[in-house]
Structure 1
């Protein structure tokens, strides 16, 4: 018999290993947060340079909940399959966020989270083209549900539950550091790279394109591959892949769950490459982490009742007033931040300067760095990312630092702080990373 009574920082046995906490036995237990900072139960402060995996773009802001409550306090719940003024207002605002950028009118579906949103996007694509092959990049991550685990690159996501009947084709990685076609000292993609992502659809590839009965129904991409190691596809490469997919009749789906709402500078990450998708899935920054909600925009007429039949999608909680109120409160803040794109560009410059300093000071451990607006990667010379991430929590006696790493890119530290992070916070981040890298270097010498 085990007990759930634990000392500070120790995870109780009742916490499932595969649920929330799975990387360490001892973890901080947070009790307060504000701005870019969190405070643990033992009083230790932490700077969040991960923004709750990119979700808390506006920082930890409790006033969002107060404003959200004002929107839904007279109607805390709603019967299933019933409409509300709150939902209709939110849908109209969300639709404009997409159509203003794409130049095309569309329709909005709501769902609970990123994986559910991606599944809804595939339903829309399949209703237009019929169920068929889905093309993604190597390094993709689109969720851990039965369907989205098939799209995500790591085989680990398919070990326990997967939609095995779904045919998925993976284009070569868009990460120039891992690309088999890369040419040393040459910036950007080679003709071989472009050819490799535009070959499918021919008799030789085994993948059906236009004119084939069994063909590709959808091409899905991320403007920046977060879980794949903070990889931004070369813009020319992505444009070529999108154009080829469209020529072959595939619905082009942009996964903006991580990169949406100014994470990379513009409102949507796909704007950086100059592409226009048919369907966009957004989630994280729409509620700033305070509620589960995703929005799926599909250009007309993809989600029209004539092709996407009523009843094709439904969920008990997509009309819940609390989540809708949170989204409205968050959108109010985004509307007031009229200089977001410019300000995130400035943040990117400041991140690049500090990461460049770390790269110069620790050339034996840091091989490269890259910045995309408010998102960045620190590429290490070996698979040290998990160890460095743990060191950042304890290396500095004054404050802990939260950064990210993934099993798909064990040599990359992911950095994407709240977009409202201050210069002082960035200095603190750099100091903690510097300390942690020094400790990592000493440890490597000892072993």
Structure 2
């Protein structure tokens, strides 16, 4: 495994980028129907007979990959019982995973649970751990939140955070501006996850990059991961707690998913406690939404019963519909990635120089690819932003492809 010094970055640009999170999660105001032409993809598919023996209909897989050709997906693979059912793209190329970082953090915490040196006590309170914040400190009731409250996104703490951005409206709606009793209200809250990063590094004694490299990348046999692929998003004007962001390749994401699929085992080694993996699939809180984000627990999303995915499925999600699905009922891992760099080259100047809101900028970029003169441009075919609707259709087709 390669070892370099982890990169530290200012959070100002990425802060704006991750501010899209809530906008993307809530469906881009229905602007998601694409009219761009399909792409020619070099798709690797197993033969029909073998696919059917693994529970996949050939015509269903055709529909899945035909739909993917209409998206701007850069890497996509379905792996069942360690066999590649189908794939396309440069599976060895690392892409920004954005909010998938939270599921990686969950795994690291699961590896280091305990009450001894170098371990994290899930029942310890922020007061006991000496966790507060600057420039605005936590209130006494907020310090009663436990590590487990943060992991389950029920701390009830509404506090400014790095990389929060467009999430704040939903956080305010769910949590209000008064102190909440810890453990009673769910909210997708980056303050919780950034504070967990601080807690991990202080009590385990390793940075996130080194801990992931040694604790997960090496024992699972990841081929592409480098500790320089982990960077920190910081905004000290609102909070002392940083977000640890990752880049990762599709084939390494498959290995991460298989770690959960195999109850924490990798190469005959217990890398994650089996009990931690079991909690991920069972101990969750309903979010009040439908579809793929029906519930959330241990920093993973849980899809609802209307998605075509079987009970026990959980998944990691990031901006641009970066996704890793773990489907134990099918003995399957699904990875979807999209390179957001070209999109961001257009989006960020619209925010920083033109003064547009994130919603207005995203709307303009989506609509621009419907204009006849732009539809066949490289950007609109290869790099445009993948909408929630288009992504949901892909997952629905995957469910229908099962025998």
TM-score of the superposed pair, with normalisation by structure 2: 0.33
User: Could you say which structure has the greater relative contact order, defined with CA pairs below 8 angstroms and 6 or more residues apart?
Assistant: 2
Structure with max Cα Rg: 1
Structure 1 or 2: more helix by fraction:
2
TM-score (structure 1 length as normaliser): 0.30
